[in-house]
Amino acid sequence: MPRFYVFLKNKLTVLLFLFSLLTLIGTSRLTRLKLHVHGLINHGLHQRYLFGSLDHWSHGADFVCTILHKHLLSLKEIIPPEKWPHTLFIQVDNCWKENKNTTVFRYLGLLVKFGWFKNIFLHFLPTGHTHEDIDQMFSTWNIHYWRAGLSSHLSVPSFIEWAYPDLNTRPQFQMVQKCYNFKDWLKNFGTSMKGHSEFRAFKFILEKLQLNSNVSMFYKTSSLRDEWKGISAENNGILLFTSFPDIDKNPPLTPLKELETEVIQSFMKHTSITDNLDTESLEFYLTLQTNSKFYLAEQTPEHLFSFGPFYTIDEEIIPTSEHWNKIITTDEIEQHFLRHNVMPSDVDSYAVVNIALNNSPFYIGHIIQILEKSVMVHPVVQRGQIDINGKWMELLTINTEVSKDKILEKDVKFNKDWILTKRWRSKLKKQFNLL
């Protein structure tokens, strides 16, 4: 089993309490509860799923990641590690809110980092093309829904049995019990990303750095093109993380929103509706009037993430400052130092140090020694107020130890009068928003 092929389809929204094309007498103007349905097809295993939910959460990136992770967790319970596939292919709708965003990218990056897959390919296909299987699954739902309607999510299994008579194409239905807040969980660990909305294919792989590993993302404008692009002329991938969350701790749950109970109460006043409800649905709505969350699970799995069969142990993790690189706006700088940091060959060069000194948001250090997790430098500073066009001086009698993650730029150049070269003055002004 070398790979999974997973198709995800964004929500189809249907109205409950709609019993047929003929609206029940006296109920045509009533607001109805909405059942949101997301579809998933795993072509590698010939599995089809429909995931239902009411309006307890928004149905953006967190919800999409929750559904995909729910599916992958269920597979890990039945597929032994030696048969687990090394590649995951995902096809989704081309919409930024649900699918094409940093939350989904970082979630997929975690699956690579922690060894669930060696490679993940994410494809956004053109509107109206190559969506036949999953669109057909939704089309069948729509055709039969407008013939019979649905009274509640409890009637969906029998509805599916009727609407999809062929067992080979009949989906399984599940109500989603919880939604994880992946966005807030991952936002402090990710690199800055922008300008990715025009691309339609992304690849995620593990990249070995100096002492640790990171996840590289490549992209291309179309799934049909051959060449993958990265961050630079060397075609390095875009590194997704500055550090990684502790996977022994689960992401937080998205807070549940109460349903509009007055909508339920208004329907329950109409005997033309209640008389058409089966006993199970009637009991469900009676309870929902007083507690709209009663049917949702409160407990979460002990470990949502775990190490997969392809996880590789890093030699050593370089600690990352909580405020690492927050004032730098150039993506290439962040990417370069995640990938290269400082090396023994950088001894005797000058580097930008991300530590405020006197009236400056940074200083320049003359690297004199490379240690295990830090570097020793002679500070290079200015007297009084910083003047980016003025002279600098090296404090030869002072040795300062600087954590490697505080080094933002290397190979800083001065002219013979210890004035920064024009290129470096311009670069530092831009990076630190200096006048």
What digits encode the pLDDT tens for the residues 365-397?
999 998 877 889 999 998 878 888 999 999 998
Q: What does the mean pLDDT of the chain come to?
A: 83
- The arithmetic mean of pLDDT across residues 100-118, rounded, is 95
Band the pLDDT of 328: cuts 50, 70, 90: very low
CA distance 373 to 354: 16
pLDDT of residue 162: 95
Q: Summarize pLDDT for 175-193 with one digit per residue, the tens.
A: 999 999 999 999 889 888 8
- Tell me which residue of 313, 305, 400 sits closest to 355, measured CA to CA: 400
Least confident window among 3-12, 247-256, 323-332 = 323-332
Q: What is the pLDDT of residues 29-75, one digit of tens each?
A: 677 788 899 999 998 899 999 999 998 999 999 999 999 999 999 99
Position 104 pLDDT exceeds 60: yes
At 428, give phi and psi (nearest 5°).
-70, -35
Residue ranges of domains in the chain: 3-288, 342-431
Q: Which of 70-79, 144-153, 335-344, 410-419 has the lowest mean pLDDT?
A: 335-344
- Classify residue 246 by burial, with Cβ atoms within 10 Å: 0-12, 13-18, 19+: exposed
The pLDDT value recorded for residue 435 is 66
Q: Say what the pLDDT of residue 132 is.
A: 67
Confidence of residue 22 (pLDDT cuts 50, 70, 90): very low
Average pLDDT estimate for 219-229: 85
Predicted local confidence at residue 325, as pLDDT: 37
Give percent of the chain with pLDDT exceeding 70.
84
What pLDDT sits at residue 270?
Answer: 78
Structure tokens at 277: 């409800």
Which residue in 152, 128, 125 sits closest to 287, CA to CA? 152
How would residue 108 be classed by pLDDT, with cut points 50, 70 and 90?
Answer: very high
In the predicted model, what is the mean pLDDT of residues 349-377?
Answer: 87
